[in-house]
Structure 1
Amino acid sequence: MSTNIPLIWQAPAWPAMHYDPVRLAGELARAHRAQGVVEGKLAGLGFEQRLELAAEAWSQEAVATAAIEGERIELAAVRSSVARRLGVGEQNGPDAPRSVEGLLDVMDDAVRERETPLTHERIYAWQAALFPTGYSGMTKILVGAYRRHTEPMQIVSGRFGRETVHYETPPSERVLDEMDTFLAWFNAVTEHDSLVKAALAHLWFESIHPFEDGNGRIGRALIDLVLARESGDVSRLIGTSQRLLDTRAEYYAQLERAQHGDLDVTEWVLWFVQQVRASCEEASDAIDAALAKALFWANHRDKVLTARQRKVVNVLLDAGPGGFEGGMSTKKYESIGGTSRATASRELIELEEMAVLCRIGGGRSTRYYLNIEGWGPAEPTLEQPSD
């Protein structure tokens, strides 16, 4: 087993993390501009649309933060639980397991109670909510309390017998003192930019690793809390966990590098701020799609569509510009609408005649696209694959 263990906890001045503000300045400015764009675009949406976007973003975030830890949870169950919590969308879907409800409780508390101080008791409750049975998988763990092992925890990867130790946490007898210091800093007004504070808080908490399990999900909830203190409910749309899942290997590598040595965390903070900016840009794209969808239905409010036609059109709208690969065919319509080939063909022709859809090609190569400029194929061609 590798014994190259980073022992940053030997540094007596901890948490004297330092970073180069000059190197961060440009990326921080870009990230905050991206946040401002999200807030500005949201102003163009109605209340229900904002709730729908928040619900979907929250659902995807819950699935992502669990997936980072290798846990797969059902998106449909998460969506129905989130819909009930926000009072929007389809609320009669499948029930989520207690552990998933607990994760949503934690994420909700981080945003709704953003001005409430973070205490030992509150963070105990967060961890206990993640493990309502007292078990992590098949292993019984200590819940609602910091770890009590006498030896430090080791963060490892690799198969049994050939593990690589990436990091060794402080011993358990030091955890309470370390968390006292962390919580005092977290609750205090500091000179740090909010995005910098989120980066530092996540790194610091993950380095203490105070619980037997659940540290990653709680550490990402701390990011949510810091962002919510700055942006309020708008922060629900900024999918940092989704972004960290998409870059998981680099995420772990950046954390590990920051946990080695001299406490200069400039690279970690810079990388983290870049991920927040990317998350904001993705949220901005989602808002653009919602605005386009609202405008589309406003332009066609005088059209009488069947429930099946409306469903298919919404599928195309949800896919976004170029998102529905290959366009809508009769066969796809038949499958999505649950109808016959003849009915699918007739209803597609009706949608074309109402100028809801536009047609490209002919015969078995016929494809339909939304009648929105720029949403069809860049270079229409008759050489579409047949169904």
Structure 2
Amino acid sequence: MNTKSPWIWLRTDWPDLAYDALAAAPDLAEAYRMHGVVEGKAAAIGLGSTSQVALDALSDEVLATAAIEGERLSLDAVRSSVMRRLGLATSGPVDRSVDGLVEVISDATTAIDTPLDEDRLCRWQSALFPGGTSGIHRIAVGRYRDHADPMQIVSGRPGREVVHYEAPPSKDVPGHMERFLKWFAETSPAQASALPGGGKPIDGFARAAIAHLWFESIHPFEDGNGRIGRAIVDMAMTQHLRQPVRLYSLSRQLLTSRSAYYDALNHAQRGDTNVTDWVQWFARQCTAACHAASQVIDQAIEKRQFWEKHEGSGLHERQRKVLQRLLDDGDGGFLGGLNAEKYMKMTGVSKATATRDLSEMVTGGQLWSQGVGKAVRYYVNVPGWAHGVAVEPGLVAPDPDTGLVVADEDRETKQSEEDVRAAAEAGRYIVSGKSGAEDRQYIGPIVAVSTLHVAQHIGRRQVVIHDTRLLDRVPAKGERLDVKFKGGHGTVLDMDKAGKEIDR
């Protein structure tokens, strides 16, 4: 970076910002392609302005545009404000500053045919600072800056400050802004189409990129320039795309690339009026934002397909609540997977109920599991979701009967249970259930065995099936046992040996 280069507004050809359309064409084309993908997916599933995807996108934009400036907003306050703005019922918290930012972003993307003028920009800036302060400092609100000191962007400790950028003097701001607002109006799609012969409007994404750079270079307000500048981007892009529903968050992408965002802006503000590099960089961020939105919509489609597949499955409300949480967290988003203890905390049920609920959901195909005993983990069964589980050759594969994704160890467990059940039924026993879910005692002989299970006769031709991995030792067929379960683990006592000890 050439630190001796004058600021862009000191150039003799300022503010005639231009870009090489041919050089930028591939990046712009890819941005439009990805935006088309997002629009197509949204249309396919009928996403409206009050859909969860749209609510999340607007909330994300509000949170991210503030976070870029180092301001952390309350997620609950943002969601509540967004819902109120869309006319939805909510009992969430109210924050005037949050409401102001939501109002600015909403106005920029809905009132797109209302002229952008000084009054509107000043009202936006006033909405961001309802108390007339930025932190504890009073600032000029509702008007362009008018202080005599240079408007500088600096970093570093006092005495060692680094000036990254210096904007035009306050006295020159009105003139700079008049030219900017005139350009913004004349290059709008509506204005260009009204020209003789339809005019030749500037590319929409390129116009948004130039508008942002131009506005940020003037830095007309004492505070709030970044948020207002990104709102101008939103307005420019919505004017061009005419998209009725926000489905992506460009500010989230800029926050993700925050350092690169500042570097790209700073580089453009120190360069000449050929801003091709900036337009290309901006287009790539639009592509990345749309790609992220596409993934969000994919998850929305997967969630809808999941519930359609399991409609009428008889799930309890608490099971549906947990499944929705797992779906909302996405592929691998529920850190460490679900287990009985986590399920108990989420639903408030006992361990026996948690174990039964989880088992039912595995049987019903809503979950798949991996591991045994205390190490067993459950994952929502969505095709293509691996949940970060290491997949080694032969470790994970779809069950040929159910189509569920299960570990080989789980397949062996299923086969072993089927074998011992068949052996018990062949001996004319009735299988009453499996042990481990409740703290209970079972007394009687072992009448059938398989690789991982045994069947114990508990009277009246009824047997209970034990998973031998939950027992402190593996019983043999014919042994008369007293098996006591507590906390999911069984203690095995040989009744014959116990009797001999008593005889002594």
TM-score norm. by structure 1 comes to: 0.93
1:33-112 pair list within 5 angstroms: 33-47=33-47, 51-88=51-88, 91-95=90-94, 97-112=95-110
Give the Cα separation in 1 of the matches to 2:106 and 2:210: 22
**Partner letter of residue 71 of structure 2?**
E
**Any stretches of 5+ residues in structure 2 without a counterpart?**
193-200, 397-406, 410-504
Runs (5+) with no aligned partner, structure 1: none
- Greater shift, 199-208 or 234-243, is seen at 234-243
Say which is worse superposed, 177-186 or 297-306, in terms of deviation: 297-306
| 2-structure distance, mates of 1:306, 1:48 | 29
**1:200 equivalent among 201, 210, 221:** 210
Tell me the SS of whatever aligns to 2:272. coil
Contact 1:5–1:168 (CA<8 Å) still a contact in 2?
no
Residue 225 of structure 2 corresponds to 215
Matches within 5 A, 1:144-293: 144-189=142-187, 191-233=201-243, 236-293=246-303
Q: Alpha carbons of 1:242 and 1:248: their partners in 2 closer, same or farther (altered >3 Å)?
A: same
2:317 alignment partner AA: A
Question: In structure 2, what is the equivalent of residue 298 of structure 1?
Answer: 308
- In 2, the alpha carbon distance for the partners of 1:203 and 1:125 equals 21
Measure how far apart 1:360 and its partner are: 2.3
Q: Secondary structure at the match of 2:378?
A: strand
1:335–1:359 distance in 2 versus 1, CA, 3 Å: same
- Separation in 2 of the partners of 1:271 and 1:234? 26
Structure 1 residue matching 2:163: 3-state secondary structure: strand
The CA distance in 1 between the partners of 2:171 and 2:142, in whole Å, is 17
Q: CA deviation at 1:234?
A: 5.0
* The one of 366, 370, 384 aligned to 1:374: 384
> Compared with structure 1, are the counterparts of its residues 306 and 6 closer, same or farther at alpha carbon in structure 2 (3 Å cutoff)?
farther
The whole-number CA distance in structure 1 between the counterparts of 2:282 and 2:245 is: 16
Cα deviation for residue 235 of structure 1 reads 5.8
Q: Who is 1:361 aligned against? A: 371
Q: Aligned pair in 2 of structure 1 residues 128, 347: CA closer, same or farther (>3 Å)?
A: same
Compared with structure 1, are the counterparts of its residues 232 and 76 closer, same or farther at alpha carbon in structure 2 (3 Å cutoff)?
farther
Q: Take 1:53 and 1:231, find their aligned partners in 2: how far apart are those partners? A: 19
Q: In 2, distance between residues paired with 1:11 and 1:137?
A: 35
Residue of structure 1 equivalent to 2:31: 31
With the length of structure 2 as denominator, give the TM-score of the two structures: 0.72
Deviation at 1:226, TM superposition (A): 1.1
2:124 is the counterpart of 1:117: no
Change (3 A) 1:188 1:48: closer
Structure 2: distance between partners of 1:55 and 1:149: 39
- The amino acid of 1:91's aligned partner reads T
Consecutive aligned runs of 4 or more in structure 1 exceeding 3 Å deviation: 3-6, 46-50, 232-235, 380-383
**Cα root mean square deviation, aligned:** 2.0
State how far apart, in whole Å, the 2-side matches of 1:286 and 1:236 are.
13
Query: Partners of 1:63 and 1:4 in 2: how far apart?
Result: 36
% identical aligned pairs: 50
- Distance in 2 (CA, whole Å) between partners of 1:335 and 1:6 is 61
Segment of structure 1 superposing worse, 339-348 or 64-73:
339-348
Question: Shift of the alpha carbon at 1:166?
Answer: 1.1
Query: Structure 2 CA distance, aligned partners of 1:332 and 1:375?
Result: 20
How far the C-alpha of 1:324 sits from its partner, in A, is 2.6
Q: Which residue of 1 aligns with 2:139?
A: 141
More strand as a share of residues: 2
Contact 1:111–1:225 under 8 Å retained in 2: yes
Do the aligned partners of 1:178 and 1:208 also contact (CA within 8 Å) in 2?
Answer: yes
Structure with the greater alpha carbon radius of gyration: 2
Distance 1:5 1:141 in 2: 31
CA contact (8 A) 2:140 2:222 kept: yes
Contact 1:5 1:165 in 2 (8 A): no
What amino acid does structure 2 have at the position aligned with 1:337? T
Residue aligning to 2:357: 347
